[in-house]
Structures are given as structure tokens and as C-alpha cells.
């Protein structure tokens, strides 16, 4: 039986992943979550998991009580999450949100199995390291972000050297057509209301600010190794085409599908085969129109910042992501305005760039974690100067 662990099992991607699995057909090794202890325990019971882990130490008692008498181990804290990834598994879903997903993902690769990677932040923060770790252990990383799954599927069987361009689509989010003056006053409630996708709160707001697409540009660069100039973003409000690949003969292959993450998760689960996945089938006549527009970098500066990261690589992705996470926290807490998030990230990148040192030709985990910490401190300083 296939041994499976799901990190971030109580989140949007985690729940969609468990929805595709059937108790008794898979052996669940570890499930991790946060404060939704009841949900975590219920899923651990349903799948008879070996261990359930909450990343919050203060949730330990509640989790232990909820699992009393089941024989399922309970654990808590960030280290326990990483230790759970040390348990051998054949297929691991990395669906923790934020840079916190990096360490469990790195550990899981050591088993040489498959890492289904929804946690884009780990590629942005430490792409070089993650890809090297996979190679070193003969592990496979499969992208779960819909655009990257689409690129991966489109490239299958193709000659990589014939690729001219990779185009990832962006819905444009709830503020696609908002003028700059209106964006300045956008609230967290407005930002979280994504028109096409049902996602976690943080990625929904990142979609509204296009920081999500910025992370995805960097993710495309790190995962597939294309040059920054080959990677494009196009706004496509219907979210039906997820990505396109253009080849040297002028042809473009597109990947289409419903806006349901279970497609990309199911693809990673069944790869290299394809199996039935219960998502809606597209009715193209009813859709009628697929439209495109160029992204507006003056209203969505995150895209411009991502270009800088793609050009520099090294530790700049760790800085970019950490500063973004800090700025997002302040926006959610209504201490920063919507447009100030990009300003904080840009200023943090400028302030930190001189302080960053990589010790070796190969990026080390310590370098990455230090850059992440330094950027969080600087971003707090920068944000504090702007706080309302
Ligand atoms: P979510 O907020 O719904 O769930 C996040 C999960 O991570 C929860 O289980 C939570 O308990 C856990 N978690 C949060 N902070 C943690 C920490 N510090 N340590 C350990 N666990 C922690 O998020 P989501 O929307 O499911 O997104 C998960 C990841 O997948 C993100 O990296 C996101 O960018 C990516 N992703 C999501 C979607 C989507 O449709 N939701 C699409 C593409 C990529
Ligand atoms: Mg995506």
C-alpha cells in the first residue's frame, strides 16, 4: 500500500488532497495542521494515521485528548512537524502555507519518493537547495500549483530545447480593473474574495496583490530552469487556461481545466498515469469567451519585484518571500494599506541586499534561514515606519 503524508492537511489544498484519498486504500503516515485540532484529529481517525501533528505547542493537549484511545500518536510544535517528515513515505503533499513549509519538504525528499509541492514558498525561498536535495536522493518533485502543473503537463514528451516561452495565466483577482486610487483603500475582506478560486486566506490576498503571481514567476524559473526572459504572465480572467508553452516552430500548447485544485493534486497523485478525478468537465460552448490582457505592473508592482528576484536568484527569493509574509501580516491586521505591501517588500529588498552573504558556491540551508530571518527583521522595521 502506498504510504502517504499530508503536511498542511487542514488547509484548502490539504482538504482537497484528502478528498481524493480513500481510507484503506492508502497508508497515511503523517497528517499535520495548525489550530483546527478537531478537523486534524477527525481526519487522522478516518485514515488511521500513524501520527497527527499540530505546529502549535499550545494545541498539544487538545490534540492528544481528541486522539485518546485510538493508538494514533499526537505531536506538536515546528520540530515535531519536521520530525514527522522524517517518517518514510512514498508520496508527500507539501501544503503548509509560507516559508514554514520548507523544512518538512526538504526532509521528506530524503526518502527518495515523490514530493507533491503546493508550497510555492519553498521554491521561491530555496529553489536551488530543494532541487539539489531531490537530485541527491533520487526524489521526484511534482508541481501542484495549477499553473506549474499545467506547464509540467504541457512539456511532457516535448523537447525542452525547443521551448521559446512559458506563459502562466493570472485571473487578475478581485481588483483586476481597480484604479490605483481605489486599490490604496482596499480592505482584507475585499482582497480575500477571489472571483474564481476557493483558496486559503493568505494566497487569496496574494492573488489580489499579484504577489501570488510574482511568487509563481520565480517558482517557474526555479522549478523548470527557464531563463527569466522566457517566462511571461498574461491576465486571463476566466482562469480556464492555466499555462501555455510556446515552441520554436511557432506553436503554442495550452493546458485547460476547471478552477479546481483537485485536478493538479490528482495529476500529481496519479503521475505518470492519468486516472479519473471528480472535477467538473468544462462546457466550452457555455464558457464562450476566453480573453487575455497584459498585466499592469504600475498597479501590481509585485511582478516587477519578481523580475528582480529572477535575475539575481541566490538569497533574494528568501528575502522577497519573508518580506512579503511580514507585509501581508500587517495588511491582514489593518496596520498597512494594500499598496504599502509592495512598498515594504521593495524597501526591504533594497536594505537587505548589501547584508547578504552566501558562504559557498552552493546555497546552504543556513544561508537561506539567515536571509529569511534578516529580511523579517528589516521588513518589520520598514513596516513600523509606515504603520497607521
Ligand atoms: P491554508 O491557509 O488553507 O492552509 C495552510 C495549512 O498550513 C493549514 O493546514 C495550516 O494549519 C498549516 N500551517 C499554517 N501555518 C503553519 C506553520 N507555521 N507551520 C506548519 N503548518 C502551518 O493554505 P492553502 O491555500 O491550502 O495553501 C497551502 C499552500 O499551497 C500555500 O503555499 C499556497 O501558496 C499553495 N497553493 C494553494 C492553492 C490553493 O488553491 N489553495 C493553489 C496553489 C498553491
Ligand atoms: Mg497558482
Tell which of 127, 143, 159 closes a domain: 143
CA of 7 relative to ligand 1 center, distance in Å: 9
**Cα(226)–Cα(78) distance, rounded to whole angstroms?**
33
Distance CA 335, CA 340 (A): 10
Task: Determine if ligand 1 sits within 6 Å of the CB of residue 16.
Answer: no
Are residues 135 and 161 both part of a single domain?
A: no
Q: Is the CB of 12 under 6 A from ligand 1?
A: yes
Atom of ligand 1 nearest to the CA of 146: 43
Tell how strand 140-143 and strand 163-170 pair up: unpaired
Phi-psi sector, 172: left (phi>0), alpha (psi -120 to 50), beta: left
279 is a domain residue: no
Last residue of a domain, one of 90, 120, 143: 143
Helix 211-224, helix 302-312: angle, nearest 10:
20
Q: Which three cell numbers stand for residue 330?
A: 500587517
Residue nearest to atom 42 of ligand 1 (CA): 145
Whether 285 maps to a domain, the answer reads: no
Whether ligand 1 lies within 6 angstroms of the CB of 77 is answered as no
- Asked if 122 and 325 touch (Cβ cutoff 8 Å), the reply is no
Q: Is the CB of 375 under 6 A from ligand 1?
A: no
Counting the structural domains of the chain, the total is 2
- Cα(205) to ligand 1 centroid in Å equals 13
**Atom 13, ligand 1: which residue's CA is nearest?**
96
Residue 155 neighbours by CB distance under 10 Å: 17
Whether residue 337 sits in one domain with residue 251: yes
CATH code, 161: 1.10.1740.10
Residue 211, beta-bridge partner list: none
Whole-angstrom distance, CA of residue 151 vs CA of residue 169: 11
Q: 114 and 205 share a domain?
A: no
Residue 337 lies in a domain: yes
Q: Whose CA is nearest to atom 31 of ligand 1?
A: 97
Residues 135 and 154 in one domain: no
Residues 6 or more apart in contact with residue 67 via CB below 8 angstroms: 41, 44, 45, 52, 73, 74
Which ligand has the shortest distance to the CA of 151? 2
Any domain includes 11 = yes
Going residue by residue through the chain, which has 388 residues, state the pLDDT in tens, using 9 for 90 and above.
Answer: 999 999 999 999 999 999 999 999 999 999 999 999 999 999 999 999 999 999 999 999 999 999 999 999 999 999 999 999 999 999 999 999 999 999 999 999 999 999 999 999 999 999 999 999 999 999 999 999 999 999 999 999 999 999 999 999 999 999 999 999 999 999 999 999 999 999 999 999 999 999 999 999 999 999 999 999 999 999 999 999 999 999 999 999 999 999 999 999 999 999 999 999 999 999 999 999 999 999 999 999 999 999 999 999 999 999 999 999 999 999 999 999 999 999 999 999 999 987 776 655 668 999 999 999 999 999 999 999 987 6
Contact 243, 167 (CB under 8 A): yes
Tell me if 40 CB under 6 Å of ligand 1. no
Is the C-beta atom of 363 inside 6 A of ligand 1?
no
Q: Does 114 share its domain with 179? A: no
Query: Which of residues 143, 160, 189 is at a domain's end?
Result: 143
Ligand 1 neighbour 129 (Cβ under 6 A): no
Residue 94 belongs to a domain: yes
> Across the beta sheet with 3-7, what order do the strands follow?
73-76, 51-54, 27-33, 3-7, 91-94, 114-117, 140-143
| Residue bearing the CA closest to ligand 1, atom 22 | 96
> What is the CATH classification number for the domain harbouring 97?
3.40.50.720
State how far Cα 305 lies from the chain centre: 18
66 and 190 housed in the same domain: no
Domain extent, residue 132, equals 2-143
60 with 183, same domain: the answer is no
- Report the side by side order of strands in the sheet with 252-256: 231-235, 163-170, 241-247, 252-256
| Global pTM value | 0.97
Amino acid at each position: 500500500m502506498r504510504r502517504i503524508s499530508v503536511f498542511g492537511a487542514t488547509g484548502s489544498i490539504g482538504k482537497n488532497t484528502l478528498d481524493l484519498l480513500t481510507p484503506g486504500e492508502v497508508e497515511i503516515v503523517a497528517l499535520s495542521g495548525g489550530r483546527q485540532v478537531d478537523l486534524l484529529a477527525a481526519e487522522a481517525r478516518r485514515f488511521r494515521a500513524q501520527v497527527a501533528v499540530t505546529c502549535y505547542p499550545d494545541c498539544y493537549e487538545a490534540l492528544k485528548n481528541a486522539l485518546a484511545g485510538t493508538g494514533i500518536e499526537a505531536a506538536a510544535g515546528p520540530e515535531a512537524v519536521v520530525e514527522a517528515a522524517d517518517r518514510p513515505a512514498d508520496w508527500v503533499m507539501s501544503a503548509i502555507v509560507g516559508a514554514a513549509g520548507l523544512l518538512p519538504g526538504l526532509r521528506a525528499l530524503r526518502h527518495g519518493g515523490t514530493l507533491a509541492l503546493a508550497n510555492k514558498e519553498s521554491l521561491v525561498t530555496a529553489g536551488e537547495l530543494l532541487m539539489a536535495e531531490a537530485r541527491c536522493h533520487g526524489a521526484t518533485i511534482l508541481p501542484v500549483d495549477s499553473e506549474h502543473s499545467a506547464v509540467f503537463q504541457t512539456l511532457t514528451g516535448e523537447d525542452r530545447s525547443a521551448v521559446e516561452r512559458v506563459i502562466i495565466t493570472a485571473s487578475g483577482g478581485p481588483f483586476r480593473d481597480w484604479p490605483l486610487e481605489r486599490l490604496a483603500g482596499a480592505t482584507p475582506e475585499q482582497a480575500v474574495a477571489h472571483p474564481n478560486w476557493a483558496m486559503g486566506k493568505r494566497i487569496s490576498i496574494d492573488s489580489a496583490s499579484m504577489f501570488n503571481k510574482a511568487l509563481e514567476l520565480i517558482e517557474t524559473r526555479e522549478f523548470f530552469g527557464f531563463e527569466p526572459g522566457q517566462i511571461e504572465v498574461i491576465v486571463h480572467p476566466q482562469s480556464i487556461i492555466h499555462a501555455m508553452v510556446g515552441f520554436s516552430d511557432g506553436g503554442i500548447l495550452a493546458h485547460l481545466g476547471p478552477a479546481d485544485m483537485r485536478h493538479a493534486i490528482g495529476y500529481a497523485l496519479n503521475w505518470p498515469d492519468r486516472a479519473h478525478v471528480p472535477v467538473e468537465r468544462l462546457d466550452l460552448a457555455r464558457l464562450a469567451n476566453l480573453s487575455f490582457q497584459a498585466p499592469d505592473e504600475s498597479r501590481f508592482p509585485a511582478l516587477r519585484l519578481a523580475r528582480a528576484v529572477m535575475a539575481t536568484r541566490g538569497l533574494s527569493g528568501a528575502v522577497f518571500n519573508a518580506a512579503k509574509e511580514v507585509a501581508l501580516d500587517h495588511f491582514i491586521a489593518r496596520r498597512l494599506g494594500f499598496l504599502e505591501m509592495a512598498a515594504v517588500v521593495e524597501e526591504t529588498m533594497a536594505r537587505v541586499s548589501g547584508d547578504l552573504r552566501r558562504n559557498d558556491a552552493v546555497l546552504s540551508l543556513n544561508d537561506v534561514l539567515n536571509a529569511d530571518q534578516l529580511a523579517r527583521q528589516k521588513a518589520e522595521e520598514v513596516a513600523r515606519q509606515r504603520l497607521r
